Amino acid sequence: MNQIKSVGVIGAGQMGTGIAHVAALAGYDVLLHDVSQDRIDAGLALIERNMSRQVVRGIIDQDAMDSGLKRVKGAPELQTIGQTDLAIEAATENEETKKAIFKALGPHLSDRTLLASNTSSISITRLASVTDRPDRFIGLHFMNPVPLMKLVEIIRGIATGPDTYELAVNFAKSLGKTTSNAEDFPAFIVNRILVPMINEAIYTLYEGVGTVDAIDTAMKLGANHPMGPLELGDFIGLDTVLSIMNVLYEGLADSKYRPCPLLTKYVEAGWLGRKTGRGFYDYRGDVPVPTR
């Protein structure tokens, strides 16, 4: 297999732009795709803003930013992603959506293209099964926010080949990341542990054990967490938290993974956290205010 020189990212949201951001700074040529030109443009603008923040903080210099931005280009047509050395899917955490993307991309893939998903919970084996190259399919689960977080979980499907694994690990390390190997079980390592904790915090709120402020303060000061679990849920996106809990509940058939009804209610209301302006906190003012 050839060395990776070009990277295609499918999904110009928070995760996709973060992956494109770090890949460009690491010297890769990057194509960024989404369902509309507006979303691509918004994603490219977000990358520029985040790189500018890194310059201000002294993390990178202006030359690195300028050369990095030149390496990232929008790709309105999905088929162009198929000509890159590594195509990374970073769409919403929905299995059918992800499978549809890989099916649509399939006819346009070059022989050399390696496929990866940034899924935070869904089976790599099942996603790989809809492609023509399950041996060249792997999970690359970046943490959010990608430019700041050092970990990438590497998840091999049952058919993932050793060359694919080696290339994926080397790619992640070239971005300055540390890798952790996870087996292909629901939610892998990080979210298998983290998301049920958030769900339990929501149950604690639901049952009236504590308020939003009390729960987050308790975990920040009592467990030395940098962010309370309800605040963290808002940051991740409550729809994503619910999706991961459903994957755990359905995949492991254990009642301890049952999503809290209050979590479901917030998602039904469209209160998904920071990205919608309201979740367990209301972010529409100058200071976040608990909604319960």
Catalytic-residue membership of 93: no
Of the listed 21, 117, 121, 141, which one is catalytic? Answer: 141
- The answer to whether residues 116 and 85 touch, using CB atoms and an 8 Å cutoff, is no
CA atoms lying within 13 Å on the CB side of residue 95: 18
Closest CA to 9 of 121, 138, 69, 21: 21
Of the listed 121, 191, 199, 243, which one is catalytic? Answer: 191
Q: What is the DSSP string of 230-257?
A: HHHHHHH-HHHHHHHHHHHHHHH--GGG
Catalytic-residue membership of 141: yes
- Cα distance between residue 196 and residue 55, in whole Å: 36
Catalytic-residue membership of 33: no
Catalytic-residue membership of 191: yes
Six-digit token string for 270: 């469209």
Of the listed 120, 123, 199, 243, which one is catalytic? Answer: 120
Of the listed 153, 199, 231, 243, which one is catalytic? Answer: 153
Strand, coil or helix: 274: helix
Other residues' Cβ atoms within 10 Å of the Cβ of residue 3: 9
User: Where in the sequence numbering do the catalytic residues fall?
Assistant: 120, 141, 153, 191
